[in-house]
Chain A
């Protein structure tokens, strides 16, 4: 049985030229959130943490990039992992997220990329409001890629081949 990570798949599409992106669409300063599962925990469980692949993908789609501090294996959790987004401990979840909120605000970035549903929801729907950074836009990694695509619509006939 073979698996492929979304990071490897997106990177492969870009490297092989199967998709083309226009980075001038995203000119604002952009930062990247390392989700625990793709980064630190993937390194621990599978021997490879996805640190560099998503950063490379982001930088194909954005002109200006800045890392949070700390990052990669030492990155802070968004505060909603491990099921916390769906748990009733809302106050604790927001309290947890204060560290992430500060990390994001300290970068000065106006666009944040998160390749995890949970992290994206916590940051976009909760932390931005609670810690006053509604001016920072939040996107999934694949949303960023989709928004940057230069798509050449296929002819219907070509589809039949």
Chain B
């Protein structure tokens, strides 16, 4: 009887060469708060991947209830790239089957420059309006939009202009107190890259590239992502 060479299985895309090293000790699963959810855990996901049962992993919700926190990987005695495995399972999902709003957010960001689709004029108006409000307390305060040559370029979490705009003032107060040279870009200012979560490397690269472009065009010295 011919030995079954798992590494030669055609369908096996999920398991890396490192997954072979798994001792099945269960340290990963033992320290994970979602062990058992959906009938799976990290150790079992590695077994499925090594056996070439990729589709079972991709179709399960486990890679999505896992928060990719990396505690399992940190503890793994064989140093297996568990996060890469779990995120690859997310990548292998058809885009229309990505749970919830995550992929819609990625598409929105590619289209409009931020995850929730705030138009540039609304964004500018909001920042100017809030800045004027803060200037009543802090004389001379302003939000420098597209300020060329500023030392720090700050990205913004779209959640704030969308739902909690006044929370942006925490940083603004600090930057005012420090008398700092900083700026915000009027376009592609989104600091939250959902391509990281959906396993979409191409989108992730495009979104990061736009931030880098802002950084270069505005001739800033440092990039700050307060996420």
11 contacts between A and B (CB under 8 A): A2-B222, A10-B174, A74-B75, A83-B196, A87-B99, A88-B99, A92-B61, A97-B33, A145-B174, A151-B177, A154-B140
Give A contacts to B, CB under 8 Å. Answer: 1-4, 6, 9-10, 13, 18-20, 36, 40-41, 44, 73-77, 79-84, 86-89, 92-93, 95-99, 116-117, 121, 140, 142-143, 145-147, 149, 151-156, 158-159
Which of B51-59, B63-71, B124-132 has 4 or more CB atoms under 8 Å from chain A? Answer: B63-71
**Which of B67, B74, B171, B222 is close to A4, meaning CB atoms less than 8 Å apart?**
B222
- Looking at chain B, what size class is its interface with the partner chain? 35 or more
- What residues of B have a CB within 8 angstroms of the CB of A76 in the complex? 33, 69, 71
* A87 contacts B64, C-beta separation under 8 Å: yes
**In the assembled complex, how far is the CB of residue A21 from the closest CB belonging to chain B, in whole angstroms?**
9
Q: A2 to B222: give the CA distance in the assembly, Å.
A: 5
**Which of B68, B74, B173, B212 is close to A149, meaning CB atoms less than 8 Å apart?**
B173
Q: Which single residue of chain A is at the shortest CB-CB distance from B173?
A: A146
Q: A98 to B37: give the CA distance in the assembly, Å.
A: 14
When each residue 24-41 of chain B gets 1 if its CB lies under 8 Å from chain A and 0 otherwise, what string results? 000000000110010000
* B224 contacts A86, C-beta separation under 8 Å: no
Q: Which of B67, B101, B105, B174 has the most CB of A within 10 A?
A: B67
* A74 contacts B71, C-beta separation under 8 Å: yes
- Verify if B188 is at the interface (C-beta below 8 Å from A): no
* A2 contacts B102, C-beta separation under 8 Å: no
* A116 contacts B227, C-beta separation under 8 Å: yes
Q: Which single residue of chain A is at the shortest CB-CB distance from B137?
A: A153
Q: A93 to B99: give the CA distance in the assembly, Å.
A: 14
